[in-house]
Amino acid sequence: MLLLEKASHYFSKKLPFALFVKPNQVQLNGVFQNTDELVEFSGQKGFVFSGFYNTKDVVLPFDSCEVIQENWSYEKHYQERIYFSDSEGVEFKNLVQKGINAIVENQFEKVVLSRKIEIPNDTINSIESFKNLVNTYSTAFRYLFYHPQIGLWMGATPEQLVKIKNGEFYTMALAGTQPYSEHIVWGEKEIKEQELVTDFIKNQIEDKVDTIKISDAITHRAGSIVHLKTDISGSIKSSIQPLVLVKALHPTSAVCGMPLQQARSFILEHEGYDRKYYSGYLGEWKGMENSDLFVNLRCCEFLENAVAVYVGCGITKDSIPEHEFIETFNKSRTIVSILVRG
């Protein structure tokens, strides 16, 4: 049975699975669990799905799941696309203004605020939409994840949380957003915002690594938008457990803020909805040997009568609420533009 058919079959039987394609690869990976048990993640090798805060962190363990690979061979799906009009964003702009005020009052330096866009869903087809997603965003980590106790999630994320191989690590500081164009020029606000993420990561991991190499910031394309990205790599201290590094990195100030505690408290108190697995992390976990985790961005959750698209943006003292709202709209197109009925 082809992997997408197998996934449909597991979904209809309410059994957990993960499908994923890594950035710049054409191999589709499938992990299928034959029971509906929720195995909580505590370091087992497997496909991990972990939320933003206080969620059940689940793993589909490789040793008890069926793990299958297949070459990606699915065509784009050209059926009727979804047309949908976003809100005016009054609530979100008010939230951003509250964030700016808190920064001006010195409560914190940066906070990432987000919103959930609900698209009414009578007939959106997750498998057909996933085909479009994989075919459209070749440089992203693309996935479809299902667990009966968690739900059905899909995304195409440009952001690596951490890659670990034989004691070496790689991570990135990704922030600053603008629509893709031929001539990209970055403003002060974006440069500063992205530097804060680099500094945050450096501070969080400095005492856990032997060496650390930080690149210059470069422009990184993610579909129809671009970000600023710094590559950060090095070797992990032999005394450090790899999960400790993950816990130090998540949530970075690319999705939460700085200082972490203050920014997170602000999000939990003011954002007004539950992020669940948006801005959490997911991917393959094999400890120090070979792990490949991504931040759950540009993602959506299939609800009974709607598809919820989650989008956020970094707020600093120089933010303009209207611009931030437009930024979340632009980010939401990553998912909204590939959804199809079927």
Ligand X SMILES: C=C(O[C@@H]1C=C(C(=O)O)C=C[C@H]1O)C(=O)O
Residue 313 contacts ligand X per CB under 6 A: yes
Helix or strand or coil: residue 284?
A: strand
Closest alpha carbon to 309 in 274, 277, 336 = 336
Q: Which residue is nearest to ligand X (CB)?
A: 314
Closest alpha carbon to 160 in 180, 179, 174, 175 = 174
Inter-CA distances, 246 with 165, 251, 263, 282, Å? 13, 9, 19, 11
Residue 51 contacts ligand X per CB under 6 A: no
Residue 255 contacts ligand X per CB under 6 A: yes
Residue 155 contacts ligand X per CB under 6 A: no
Specify the amino acid at residue 249. L
Q: Are 17 and 33 in contact (CB under 8 A)?
A: yes
Closest distance of CB 116 from ligand X, Å: 11
Closest distance of CB 188 from ligand X, Å: 14
Question: Looking at 176, 251, 280, 283, which residue binds ligand X (CB under 6 A)?
Answer: 176
Which range in 29-37, 45-53, 54-62, 171-179 contacts ligand X by CB under 6 A?
171-179
Instruction: Using the minimum distance from each CB to ligand X, give the nearer residue, 39 or 299.
Output: 299
Interface characters, 260-299, with ligand X (x: CB under 6 A): -------------------------------------xx-
Closest distance of CB 132 from ligand X, Å: 19
Residue with tokens 């998540």: 250
Instruction: Using the minimum distance from each CB to ligand X, give the nearer residue, 60 or 254.
Output: 254
Residue 312 contacts ligand X per CB under 6 A: yes
H, E, C per residue of 136-176? HCCCCEEEEEEECCCEEEEEEECCEEEEEECCEEEEEEEEE
CA angle 221, 312, 159 (to 5 degrees): 40
Which range in 21-29, 30-38, 81-89, 305-313 contacts ligand X by CB under 6 A?
305-313
Task: Count other C-beta atoms under 10 Å from residue 211's C-beta.
Answer: 11
Residues in touch with ligand X (CB under 6 A): 112, 114, 159, 174-177, 227, 254-255, 297-298, 311-314, 331
